[in-house]
Structure 1
């Protein structure tokens, strides 16, 4: 009798876990917007937060996070990449304004305010955080001594 109860509990547990794994993490409108805009997305993982849906994925080697609301409106796109994906005018101004520094990483944020770039630069002694806009204008945010040197 114990074995029968234990077996039934295991089967029910597996059934509930399988049903939870099949549950759709995103509504149809958000999925339709995503499929329309991000055809080349790989390794897509969805999460829900404050009645919005976030998709995390790779596209052509760039890690990307998008936020889509329940109505299917694209709210924000965040992309993480290196120097080679920066627009030429932005890269030119960064290299010109911060000579001798290497681009360590870029976070590109696109939303209703436009496109902005949060860029981390490094040299032998410091990490420098700057912001840049689509026109290439830059501003210093912070500068930190490198802890790995």
Structure 2
């Protein structure tokens, strides 16, 4: 009985220490940059990838991941949204070039290279993945047959 209690205590302690080690707090520089850029954001989930901190949150129905370095510099943001979040020039360019297809989802990546969009188009027969830049230029990356039809 004593060994059972001792074993349970050891397992509990190891579990607690592992959870505490995984949840490294975000430093002040990172929090300062984050609050400067992303105002009125609630329910932020933080993770540490070693040299970077990643924040995940949802604001105005847009899922966002922000990557910051330990000095508080914003490295990259990735946002996930639908057609209505696209800038009008990108939306026009995509709708014109891919008539008859609906925009199913958008992944926007913003970093030192600029803003790029990975857009998934959908029609009755296929999903089409395209890349677009901030000027509206786009290229088809891959086309997939729909498996649900």
Inter-partner Cα distance in structure 2 for 1:64 and 1:80: 6
**d(CA) in 2 for partners of 1:27, 1:74:** 14
Q: Distance in 1 between matches of 2:140 and 2:9?
A: 60
Whole-angstrom distance in 2 between the partners of 1:32 and 1:139:
38
Normalised by the length of structure 1, the TM-score is 0.86
Please state whether the residue corresponding to 2:135 is helix, strand or coil. Answer: coil
**1:121: Cα distance to partner?**
0.2
Q: How many residues were matched structurally?
A: 147
In 2, distance between residues paired with 1:129 and 1:106? 10
Q: Is the 8 A contact 1:128 1:144 kept in 2?
A: yes
Kept after mapping to 2: 8 A contact 1:40/1:60: no
Question: Which position in structure 2 is the counterpart of 1:138?
Answer: 138
TM-score (norm 2): 0.86
Work out the CA distance in 2 between the residues paired with 1:133 and 1:50: 30
Report the Cα distance in structure 1 between the residues aligned to 2:25 and 2:105, rounded to whole angstroms: 30
Provide the residue aligned with 1:95 in structure 2: 95
- Kindly state the Cα deviation for residue 32 of structure 1 after the two structures are TM-superposed: 1.1
- For residues 72 and 103 of structure 2, the distance between their equivalents in structure 1, rounded to whole angstroms, comes to 35
**What is the SS of the residue equivalent to 1:41?**
coil
C-alpha distance in 2, partners of 1:84/1:74? 25
1:35 is aligned to 35
**SS of the residue 2:43 aligns to:** strand
Mapped contact 2:78–2:110 kept (Cα < 8 A): yes
Runs (4 or more) in structure 1 with deviation over 4 Å come to: none
- 2-structure distance, mates of 1:126, 1:116: 23
Does the 8 A contact of 1:56 with 1:64 survive in 2? yes
Unaligned runs of 5+ in 2: none
Deviation of the 1:26 alpha carbon: 1.3
Give unpaired runs (5+ residues) of structure 1. Answer: none
The question of whether the paired residues in 1 share the 8 Å contact of 2:24 and 2:48 is answered with no
Structural RMSD (CA): 2.6
